[in-house]
Structure 1
Amino acid sequence: MEAIEKLRAKCLERGASGIRGLARVFRRLDANRSGTLDADELHRGLEEMGLALEPQEIEQICQRWDRHGDGTLDLEEFLRALRPPMSQARKDIIAAAFAKLDRSGDGVVTVGDLRGIYSGRDHPKVTAAEFLDYYSGVSASVDTDEEFVAMMTSAWQL
């Protein structure tokens, strides 16, 4: 089993808080707010969460997610990689919810699309990719496609 898959499985054993809890620990360890972690920070974060991996597995993860060859891994990209893949049913229901928000149909949710529904003052635009990324995180904590589709259908009145 690849190290990232082993770590994902360990996180998912903890339920909905597994990956989110790890994300909180990693963000706290990123003291300089660079958005990256080095091997030592990764190791400390995993130990703190009780998700110990073998040193060679930590090295494998660092090498795989070190995009710039500087000995660090991109935190957000790494956390996205930890999320389990989503089924097409989940992606489809997320797309339907996004389409409901995107009243103009241009692929971007703007303040105009949300006027009267939401104050977009601090977040003036939401793209379909950002919407999918958000719900990918939510998806990680829902066991079955049926439950996920029901949750999305209810939340977005689809």
Structure 2
Amino acid sequence: MEQEDDIIIQETNDRLVFKAIQDVLKEKLHKRGVRILTGLGKYFQQLDKEENGLLDKADFKQALKVFHLEVSEKDFESAWLILDDNGNGKVDYGEFKRGIIGEMNEYRKSYVRKAFMKLDFNKTGSVPIINIRKCYCAKKHSQVISGHSTEEEIISSFLETLKVACSKSDEVSYGEFEDYYEGLSIEIIDDEDFVTTLRTPWGI
């Protein structure tokens, strides 16, 4: 029982460490969430020479610096101790990103999955950019309705930003698709507003 209590206390403390970092970064990510999250995901992939999803401390520090997401040395070390729980000096970059930036809730994720599944009708885990262009409907986009942008401009802008996340120029994986919406999620407070950004263009 005592051991269980210790684990609960430790988990609570871990959450507080991450929460403190997330609060600091939230301000930096606001309005730039999509571009930073998509860029960061791709940058991690480029650093991952062994292609095993793991990076070391220096890699993560470098990435945070490049994307102007610096946190204090103390906070970074606290987070690193939690993430590198087996002490091998390497951490999964998806886990690192979730830890220091946070992640969208399950309700939001379910709609991201729905949208991707609609696009990925062959169930391969990747979708050709050309299919995304065909399926993305900008007709009801607020900028189009107000006359500030054409449908083509909205689609091109969306694809241009999405491509930043992609390791291949002609297709998008689920992880890359989720990175885009993870960034968008940071910028949108209300769950229903976020869901609308998926329902409207993808017809889900």
TM-score by length of 2: 0.51
Question: Which residue of structure 1 lines up, in the alignment, with residue 27 of structure 2?
Answer: 13
What is the distance in 2 between the residues matched to 1:39 and 1:77?
16
**SS at structure 1 position matched to 2:187:** coil
For the Cα contact (< 8 Å) 2:79–2:100, is it kept in 1?
no
User: Given the alignment, which residue of 90, 96, 114 partners 1:78?
Assistant: 96
Question: Which residue of structure 1 lines up, in the alignment, with residue 190 of structure 2?
Answer: 144
Cα deviation digits, residues 96-136 of structure 1 (max 9, x gap): 212321335x474566xx49948x9843x745x66445433
The 1:33/1:10 distance shift into structure 2, 3 A limit, reads farther
For the Cα contact (< 8 Å) 2:111–2:195, is it kept in 1?
yes
**How many residues matched?**
147
Gaps of 5+ in 1: none
Alpha carbon RMSD of aligned pairs, Å? Answer: 4.3
Identity %: 23
For the Cα contact (< 8 Å) 1:39–1:59, is it kept in 2?
no
Question: Which residue of structure 2 lines up, in the alignment, with residue 42 of structure 1?
Answer: 61
Q: Which has the higher contact order (CA 8 A, sep 6+)?
A: 2
Gaps of 5+ in 2: 1-14, 136-167
The 1:89/1:117 distance shift into structure 2, 3 A limit, reads same
Question: Which residue of structure 2 lines up, in the alignment, with residue 103 of structure 1?
Answer: 121
TM-score by length of 1: 0.62
Kindly provide the amino acid, as one letter, of the partner of residue 8 in structure 1. Answer: Q
- Name the structure where helix makes up a greater proportion of residues: 2
Instruction: After TM superposition, give the deviation of residue 78 of structure 1 in Å.
Output: 0.7
